[in-house]
Amino acid sequence: MESALALFRSDLPDEPEPAVRWLPFQLNPDLPPQGMARKAYIERKFGPGGAHNYARVAAVGKEVGIDFAFDAITVQPNTVNAHRLMHYAARYEQEDAMAESLFRGYFQEGAVLTDLAQLAALGARAGFESDALSAYIASDQDRDAVLSADVEARRAGIGGVPYFIFNRRVAVSGAHEPSVLLGAMQQSLRRRP
């Protein structure tokens, strides 16, 4: 998406800068609050030896400078609290920084996203005050808003991530080349009322 946005700025310099919003969507909304052992989750989802499914993702990640460390992930998390952090960051227009910290923590460092202290540390790394963030994470503030938005996404037909919606007009499901995302952005501009 970052590359597609750079292409957008280059190809359409007279258009306003696109605003990026991150919306809650849980891949596994039925996981318990503490999550579950990653190995058991992978075996349940893909069968024994299912971790090899991530080899392709790791190879593509390397091509774009992301060193996925899937072996470091020990817990498949319930992500409600991670989405609450994103909700918190949105108040300060810092969703991208929070998303980057969460993604790096989980996919590259093996952070346990159900551990409230680790979540607070990831939020602090994104530039937020640690004590305020810890108090927020320990509360239930915004939990209902996150869960409601997750249900709304499912009702709209979203079944996986990534899922991009441009100008509320054009949707693209799955990971795609930047040129495909740019094309969807351009298409959404042509559909203006």
Say whether both 92 and 128 belong to one domain.
yes
For residues 148 and 191, state if they share a domain.
no
Domain count, the chain: 2
Tell whether 47 and 132 lie within a shared domain.
Answer: yes
Query: Rounded CA gap, 109 and 70, in Å?
Result: 9
Give yes or no: residues 71 and 145 share one domain.
yes
- At residue 170, what are phi and psi to the nearest 5 degrees? -125, 130
Question: Is there a single domain that holds both residue 6 and residue 39?
Answer: no
Write out the residue range of the structural domain in which residue 189 sits.
1-23+158-193
Q: Are 55 and 191 in contact (CB under 8 A)?
A: no
User: Is it the case that residue 110 has pLDDT exceeding 90?
Assistant: yes
Model confidence pLDDT, tens digit, residues 120-178: 999 999 999 989 999 999 999 999 999 999 999 999 999 999 999 999 899 999 889 99
pTM: 0.90
Tell me the sheet residues that pair with 76: 36
pLDDT at 193: 57
- Give dist(CA 58, CA 62) in Å, integer: 6
Amino acid at 109: E
User: Binning pLDDT at 50, 70 and 90, where does residue 118 land?
Assistant: very high
Q: What is the pLDDT of residue 52?
A: 79
pLDDT tens digits along 27-83: 999 999 999 999 999 999 888 877 777 888 888 889 888 999 999 999 999 999 999
For residues 172 and 181, is the Cβ–Cβ distance under 8 A? yes
At residue 37, φ and ψ (nearest 5 deg) are -55, 130
Note whether 100 and 176 are same-domain residues.
no
Binned at pLDDT 50, 70 and 90, residue 104 comes out as: very high
Same domain? For 43 and 128 the reply is: yes
Nearest to 12 by CA among 175, 193, 166, 171: 166
Q: Which residue has the tokens 């998406």?
A: 1
